[in-house]
Amino acid sequence: MRFSVFLNARSMGPEGDRQLMLDLEAHALKASTLGFDAIFQPDHHFNGYMPTASDSFMFAAYLAAQMPHMHFGFSVVSVPLHHPVRFVERINLLDQLTKGKLLVGVGSGTTPEEMIGFGVNYKDAGAISEQNLALAEALWAKRMEDPAVEIDNGPHQGRVIQRIAPAAFTPGHARLMPVAMKEASARRAAVNGWPAYIPAFTPPQIYGNEPFTHVKKYFDVYKGMLLEAGHSDAVVADALGWSTHTYQCVHVAESDDQARAELEIILKGYQEAVDRENEFNARAEGDAANKKKDININALDEGWIGTWCLYGSPKTVIEHLQPYAELGIGNILCGTTTGPLTPARLAYADQTLDLLSRKVMPAFGK
């Protein structure tokens, strides 16, 4: 089982942005020296959730130059917010720079405030995302002598006459990683021999205390489709080896009691940041085209903790992860910087990296 770090910190205002960037860089470098396999980032805009995520590709390229052995991933790129040309160009360039060590999670986005900033209505996000992915495939496949690729998709317009430059490093193009929640998304990953994100909930309820039940359901469907697709053993092994289950908040301490007490401190800070962001996002939901249907609950709710958190002593964390390893989950994505990245929060994050690397990862062959 692989272990990867998800950079998912918050900045509460512009005065905190630079220090957060420096701290994230140091945290990522620490992870690279402790045996973690990859650094993942989200794709967010305007609200202070990961200021570097306004262009995660650029920050990944900066980090990749310092740790060329690492893989880099995105959890996930909000496809409707990216012109398909720029989407493909950035992926190809980073694919080249990392020599193929790239995993591009794709989704339709979750936040109306971000959508309207790019001229996209929230209700249209799914359809624009699907068409953007189809256009991206056409751009990746286009040869110089082929007819132009016409782009007419919501706010995204254009006509590509020659080709995308640079070419991809990976044959075809870098691996995409759909979320294996909808059958179409799971099949897209399986047919192409790509990894997938394996959810721990089933909408409309996005929290609960039986996450493994949901993970097993989605993983079994994805794995079945992957095996039926007729890929080589190497392609199947690579796809399953990067099949990813995500925890928004991972916190490890020497004892369960210490871990729980510190987790509650972390989640209180996280909730304060989310409440601040929600005030602004509500302004974006002033019409039906940008109204969200799902309802956020407090992060200190036991159901939210049960779905989105992994915490405890090293022994407890190992026991929790053992069924996931036996199921065949290939990659555990650890949100280690959840919430505002204060000095105290960063110390907790580094503590978690240290205990994971020394006491948890060896139990899974790391």
Given a cut of 80, whether residue 293 has pLDDT beyond it is no
pLDDT tens digits for range 204-214: 888 999 999 99
* pLDDT on residue 298: 93
- Dist. CA 339–CA 245, nearest whole Å: 20
| Residue type at position 354 | D
Amino acid at site 316: T
**Token couple for 56:** 């995660």
How many whole angstroms separate alpha carbon 262 and alpha carbon 176?
35
CA distance readout (Å), 9 to 35, 43, 73, 155, 249: 21, 12, 16, 30, 10
Confidence check: pLDDT of 74 > 70: yes
* Mean predicted confidence (pLDDT) in 77-96: 98
pLDDT over 80 at 186, yes or no:
yes
**What is the reported pLDDT for 286?**
83
Q: What is the pLDDT of residue 295?
A: 65
- For the cut 90, the answer to whether the pLDDT of residue 319 exceeds it is yes
- Distance between CA 42 and CA 59 in Å, rounded? 11
Half-sphere exposure (Cβ direction) of 300: Cα atoms closer than 13 Å: 14
Q: HEC profile for the chain?
A: CEEEEECCEECCCHHHHHHHHHHHHHHHHHHHHCCCCEEEECCCCCCCECHHHHHHHHHHHHHHHHCCCCEEEEEEEEHHHCCHHHHHHHHHHHHHHCCCCEEEEEECCCCHHHHHHCCCCHHHHHHHHHHHHHHHHHHHHCCCCCCCEEEEECCEEEEECCCCCCCCCCCCCCEEECECCCHHHHHHHHHHCCCCECCCCECCECCCCCHHHHHHHHHHHHHHHHHHCCCCHHHHHHHHHCCEEEECEEEECCCHHHHHHHHHHHHHHHHHHHHHHHHHHHHHCCCHHHCCCCCCCCCCCHHHHHHHEEEECHHHHHHHHHHHHHHCCCEEEEECCCEECCHHHHHHHHHHHHHHHHHHHHHHCC
The mean pLDDT value of the chain amounts to 96
pLDDT of residue 41: 98
Collect all residues with Cβ–Cβ distance below 8 Å to 137 and sequence separation of at least 6: none
Query: pLDDT > 70: what percent of the chain?
Result: 99
Cβ 52 vs Cβ 24: under 8 Å: yes
Cα separation, 111 vs 93, in Å, equals 27
**Dihedral pair phi/psi, residue 44, rounded to 5°:** -140, 160
Query: What value does the mean pLDDT take over residues 268-278?
Result: 93
pLDDT confidence bin for 289, thresholds 50/70/90? confident
Q: pLDDT over 90 for what percent of the chain?
A: 91
Q: Which of 344, 351, 356 is nearest to 266 (CA)?
A: 344
The alpha carbon dihedral of 59, 61, 66, 70 has a sign of: positive
pLDDT confidence of residue 237: 98
The phi, psi pair for 168, rounded to 5°, reads: -70, 150
Q: Which residues of 95-127 are buried (b: 16+ CB within 10 A; e: fewer)?
A: bbbbeebbbbbbbbbbbbbbbbebebbbebbee
Torsion sign (Cα): 27, 35, 330, 260: negative
pLDDT of res. 24: 98
Predicted structure pTM score = 0.96
**Does 336 have pLDDT greater than 70?**
yes
Q: What is the pLDDT of residue 110?
A: 83
Is the pLDDT reported for residue 296 higher than 80? no
